[in-house]
Amino acid sequence: MYSVTVLLIWISDHYGIESDGIHSVTAFCTLRVTIITDDMLTNSITVRLENMSQEKFLSPLLALFVEGVATVLSTTKEGIFVFNIQNDTDVSSNILNVTFSALLPGGIRNKFFPSEDLQEQIYLNRTLLTLISTQRVLPFDDNICLREPCENYMKCVSVLKFDSSAPFISSNTVLFRPIHPINGLRCRCPPGFTGDYCETEIDLCYSNPCGNNGLCRSREGGYTCECHEDFTVLDTW
């Protein structure tokens, strides 16, 4: 389901088309519309850029940032979707929060990097990203899971949800309309458990994984197979 539309407008000058006999000039703009889906929000992360403003980021650093992220993730620049740039209000220094998602490489249609993998790749390759984008990415500190809200050994995952469209932000060459997502969380059950609070253990023997000559015994997070009498495990090499 679509959540919001982000409008990115690049405006640049081109000379040599219209003329008054002395001077000639033509200005044109490119309108790029990106549909932001719930899947993109769920699989997005927010990075913090040091000594950065909204206007400076839009021109000329937006393109460099997208190129750097694409290089780090080994994906295409068209697969990087920046949908929010927002000044960090929790600190006094000039820090810009940039939220984006990214498509997996290899031409997999509409499959995004999970937020955990995306954050890990960006963090581990911050040096390379800085070299390409000329912007320093600070350590992540937006983890809403630090207070450990999940019970029963569930894994807490920070996610974003759509809040509202924000006013346009402009620079000399770019007009950008961001969205302002809000932080949320999702609790994932450990392997072998399900339910609202992961209180139900999944019987992994239901599909008869051991075959007709084996006895399946369910255990926490998995199962084991025991052979019936006169049968043994066949190893294949």
For position 144, what pLDDT does the model report?
A: 65
Q: Are 97 and 84 in contact (CB under 8 A)?
A: yes
Enumerate the domain spans of the chain. Answer: 2-193, 203-227
Average pLDDT (38-57) is 87
Task: Identify the band that residue 206 occupies on the pLDDT scale cut at 50, 70 and 90.
Answer: confident
The alpha carbon of residue 214 and the mean position of all alpha carbons in its chain are separated, in whole angstroms, by 43
Peptide bond into 60 cis (omega under 30): yes
For position 142, what pLDDT does the model report?
A: 53
More confident residue, 155 or 92: 155
Query: pLDDT over 90 for what percent of the chain?
Result: 18
pLDDT digit string, tens, across residues 68-117 = 999 999 999 989 999 888 888 766 578 898 999 999 987 566 789 988 88
Q: Are 21 and 58 in contact (CB under 8 A)?
A: no
Average pLDDT (178-186) is 75
Q: Are 176 and 162 in contact (CB under 8 A)?
A: no
Rg, Å, the chain Cα set: 25
For position 69, what pLDDT does the model report?
A: 95
pLDDT digit string, tens, across residues 106-153 = 756 678 998 888 989 998 998 999 999 898 888 776 556 766 677 767
